[in-house]
């Protein structure tokens, strides 16, 4: 079954997890997945599952925590950018996603003890989860990020890899990648 999400009409959480500090630690991974499961009771949760993360979920017996999530195979760079743009909020441990969400104005919760991209915090799109990480702390950070809402697309353009990635994507496809006039009406599909 294919589901189409229209951002703003059917908000969803986009999550990306792959850092060894999160996925190799059974308690921490379980805590993050419990938070996503809790959030799935009020929002769709989309989780493109990194191979490392998938193997740890299986090894730790955490598959039941994925039951209510929309689990996808890993996405390519441009697919991930499109999914990020359509998301109401991102929950991630990815440094790259921290940059892309900042450029796109998408609120984000970073599930790491610290970030190497402090500009994303000072620009107001990055909401680091309180540490030590707890399920309740992740859920609270997501609710706060949603309360604060999106920033204007392109308002913070020029932050790191996101700008370079947009430039590269345009060069590869022969099309200029520019912010959409109405980004909240973009669609993203998963099955």
Q: Which residues are catalytic?
A: 18
* Rounded distance between C-alpha atoms, residue 163 and residue 165, angstroms: 5
Which of 47, 188, 162 lies closest to 101 in space, CA to CA? 162
* Rounded distance between C-alpha atoms, residue 169 and residue 188, angstroms: 18
- DSSP H or E stretch at residue 20: helix 20-23
* Rounded distance between C-alpha atoms, residue 46 and residue 15, angstroms: 6
Secondary-structure percent of the chain, ordered helix, strand, coil, rounded to 5: 45, 15, 40
Which of 18, 29, 32 lies closest to 96 in space, CA to CA? 18
Which residues share a beta bridge with 187? 6
């Amino acid at each position: 079954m294919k589901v189409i999400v229209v951002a703003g009409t059917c908000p969803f959480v986009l999550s990306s997890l792959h850092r060894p500090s999160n996925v190799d630690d059974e308690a921490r991974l379980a805590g993050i997945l419990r938070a996503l499961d809790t959030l799935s009771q009020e929002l769709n949760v989309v989780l493109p599952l990194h191979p490392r993360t998938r193997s740890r979920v299986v090894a730790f017996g955490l598959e039941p925590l994925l039951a209510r999530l929309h689990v996808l195979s890993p996405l390519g760079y441009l697919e991930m950018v499109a999914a990020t743009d359509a998301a109401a909020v991102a929950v991630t441990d990815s440094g790259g996603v921290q940059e892309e969400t900042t450029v796109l104005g998408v609120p984000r919760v970073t599930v790491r003890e610290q970030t190497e991209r402090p500009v994303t915090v000072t620009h107001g799109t990055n909401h680091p989860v309180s540490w030590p990480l707890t399920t309740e702390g992740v859920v609270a950070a997501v609710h706060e990020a949603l309360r604060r809402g999106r920033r204007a697309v392109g308002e913070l353009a020029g932050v790191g890899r996101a700008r370079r990635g947009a430039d590269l994507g345009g060069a590869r496809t022969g099309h200029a990648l520019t912010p959409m006039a109405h980004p909240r009406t973009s669609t993203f599909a998963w099955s």
